[in-house]
Amino acid sequence: MTTAIQLGTRRSLMVIRVGEDAGEWNRFVLQRPESTYAHAWGWREVLRDALRHECVYMAAVDDEGEWQGVLPLVRVKSRIFGTYLVSLPFVNYGGPLGSLAAQRALAAAAVDLASNSRVDMLELRGGTGEFERMTVSTRKVTVLLEMKESAEALWKWFPSKLRSQIRRAQKEQMEVRFGPEQVDAFYQVFARNMRDLGTPVLPKAFFQSIARSLRENALVGVVYDDGVPVAGGVGFVWNDRFEITWASSLREYNRKSPNMLLYWSFMEQAIERGVRVFDFGRCTPGGNTHRFKLQWGGESVELPWSQWSAKGVSSTPSPERPIYQLATKVWSRLPVPVANRLGPILARQLP
């Protein structure tokens, strides 16, 4: 698959499909300051091997053979929900990366691919430009918090009410552990919480693959109460930024505030790694999750996702859609072992 776009009178860009050239891909991504964790080549291994999705990784190359941009695309197919091309599914970023001309060429190639393969929708999560034939959705936001020079300075900056909530968990003598070996404990909490929310859970193999393929950037943390995992999260350090992408806590421990200790501990870890911006991950504007994230003192920022659909589809499938509300209520009543057995089959189809 190739697509060319003219740049003035002397140079052109051609979009090519990248085979197994992980080295060239990562070299380009790492030299771009606006790149995100979602552009790392390791995601190709995670999504292909753990979830069995087709990955179409593209690069925009000039007539001298130099890479000017990249775009990771993943085809998520479902007999129930339809077929989607997403960059990048299950996370919040991963759209066209590179010069503006390269981004436009990559977006155009993605639209052509989506049209020719008759997918229900193409969604590019991020990018710095508006792309021809595509609309922009801002149905999701994140909250960004500027870090201080030290954990002590950040602690002093927090309002007293926030500090008291964190201290509540500390007084309970809860313990926080970080490392790839915490994936099983994290998943124990995450799967239980997702069932309670009425949402199918991603397979454990997905997070195990993240810990292996993205080990330099992935951070897994778990809060323990008397040896029992009660809260956990997974996030990614990239350049001077950290995003906590998945986080959960068990409801019966809410009065002890383990979720507050979890987020604070991730902030401590992030500052140690030189992070300057803490990204709380996507949420729906005005919802409970959004309000929880705002209490830390950050600012809401829209997540612009570029979309194309020949079928009038306005978003990828999500349990938040009204049509799925009844299913959500039923799911939340399933026994945990049943939900954990069926959930991964469905969740891999909800990008």
Tens digit of each residue's pLDDT (9 = 90 or more) over 139-198: 899 999 999 999 999 999 999 999 999 999 999 999 999 999 999 999 999 999 998 888
Least confident residue range of 27-31, 186-190, 312-316: 312-316
Q: How confident is the model at residue 10 (pLDDT cuts 50, 70, 90)?
A: very low
Lowest mean pLDDT among 120-124, 166-170, 243-247, 344-348: 344-348
SS3 assignment for the chain:
CCCEEEECCCEEEEEEECCCCHHHHHHHHHCCCCCCHHHCCHHHHHHHHHCCCEEEEEEEEECCCCEEEEEEEEEEEECCCEEEEEECCCCCCCCCEECHHHHHHHHHHHHHHHHHHCCCEEEEECCCCCCCCCEEECCCEEEEEECCCCHHHHHHHCCHHHHHHHHHHHHCCCEEEECHHHHHHHHHHHHHHHHHHCCCCCCHHHHHHHHHHCCCCEEEEEEEECCEEEEEEEEEEECCEEEEEEEEECHHHHHHCHHHHHHHHHHHHHHHCCCCEEECCCECCCCHHHHHHHCCCCEEEECCEEEECCCCCCCCCCCCCHHHHHHHHHHCCCCHHHHHHHHHHHHCCCC
Q: What is the mean pLDDT of residues 273-297?
A: 96
- Reported as a single tens digit per residue, the pLDDT across 199-238 is 889 999 999 999 999 999 999 999 999 999 999 999 999 9
Among 84-98, 227-241, 315-329, the minimum mean pLDDT is found in 315-329
For CATH 3.40.630.30, list the domain ranges present in the chain.
Answer: 4-133, 141-302
Tell me, which fold does domain 141-302 have in CATH? Answer: Aminopeptidase (3.40.630)
Under the banding of pLDDT at 50, 70 and 90, the label for residue 344 is: confident
Domain 4-133 belongs to what architecture?
3-Layer(aba) Sandwich (3.40)
Residues 54-93: pLDDT tens digits?
999 999 999 999 999 999 999 999 877 889 999 999 999 9
